[in-house]
Homo-oligomer: A and B are copies of this chain.
Amino acid sequence: MSLGTLPPVATTGPVRIVGTGLLGASIGLSLATRGVDVVLHDSSRTALALARDVGAGRLPAHDDAPVRLVVVAAPPDVTAEVVIAELAAHPHAVVTDVASVKGAVLDELVAAGADLSRYVGSHPMAGRERSGPTAARADLFAGRPWVIAGSDHSSAEAVLAVRQLATDLGATPLAMEAREHDAAVAVVSHVPQVVASLVAARLTDAPAAALDLSGQGLRDVTRIASSDAPLWTSILAANAAAVRSVLMDLRADLDVVIDALGEADVPHGTAAVGALGALARTVTAGNLGVARIPGKHGGAPRHYEVVTVLVPDAPGELARLFSDVGDAEVNIEDLQLEHSPRQPVGLAMISVLTGRSAPLEKELVARGWRVANRG
């Protein structure tokens, strides 16, 4: 793909965006900069003015043409009532929302007797770690999945309009039903978020010396535990049933581990075979689960070889390393950096396709790099 430009859009305006936080302002910015008429609304005058100033769209005028598409980008707990109001206020417009939970919104629309033919829920999987209109970027959604959650009542035209919006923003549309979406994000996003918080919470009263032994594994498991508490409280509450269901299954597995550890806590390696078997099955089930996560580009999971290189902690050293990797004509599939306490050297773990680690290692060693682990 070419850098620095976005392709022309198929969405036609006026597009009305309700809620000009990060998501709403980014959608507006992407459309407005490519000539679509975008009308902004936010209950906060400050957020609205900021969104206009960053180029996300204009304020409404009395002689505006009828709105074609409404995007509700309000907080999850008020999304349904805003969608209901917008469906009523714009009787010829398609209305979508971008809330991260879809079933609760749909339930409220059904209960309110809203015109479901013109509503298609959606969920762009982007932008969770920033907030506010000043963080808006036209390419926030580039390369991200965007769930299109139409209901049985959605018209084909409405579904098409929302798919088109996702495609215009550079996202990859994925069709799902609302409940299917909520169950999916419970298991791949919300439960990992809760569990990362629970593991990180165990660190709050650990001795400082224990933290000195922190490795990359702990950093990986807890990275998302630094997320925003109010946002996640509302997401978890809105998807409470699906998240609770997965957490209860997880707790049943945890109980098995705790019981097995109780039986294994005996001196001199005399633990019952059953206890060890339960521990082994837990780790093996994890092996099977992680192998199901799609590889790069959504293909079948791939097994990479890892080349670990010691990198002095100085500007330019990583650039020199990747320049050397590029010269070796090996593509980097994944990459992690690791640092140990009190050492002025880092480890770069470079994942490459099977069969490429040996030639890469040879090339790097020839160029003076220290390769720490055979891949």
Give the docked Cα–Cα distance between A372 and B127 (Å). Answer: 10
Does A358 reach chain B (CB closer than 8 Å)?
Answer: no
What are 13 pairs between A and B in contact, CB < 8 Å?
A139-B310, A184-B209, A188-B213, A191-B199, A202-B246, A212-B298, A217-B224, A220-B224, A222-B286, A222-B290, A315-B326, A319-B324, A319-B325
Contact in complex: B254, A198 (CB < 8 Å): yes
Count the A residues whose beta carbon is within 8 Å of the partner chain — how many? 161
- Report the nearest B residue to A306, measured CB to CB: B129
Contact in complex: A261, B243 (CB < 8 Å): yes
Most interface-central of A77, A127, A142 (chain B CB within 10 A)? A142
Contact in complex: A230, B280 (CB < 8 Å): yes
Does A108 reach chain B (CB closer than 8 Å)?
Answer: yes
Does A23 reach chain B (CB closer than 8 Å)?
Answer: no
A113: min CB distance to chain B, Å: 15
Contact in complex: A139, B372 (CB < 8 Å): yes
Contact in complex: A229, B280 (CB < 8 Å): yes
Give the docked Cα–Cα distance between A275 and B244 (Å). Answer: 13
A343: min CB distance to chain B, Å: 4
Chain B residues contacting A147 (CB-CB under 8 Å) are 213
Does A285 reach chain B (CB closer than 8 Å)?
Answer: yes
Known A-B contacts A188-B211, A310-B143; A201 and B326 likewise in contact (beta carbons under 8 Å)? no
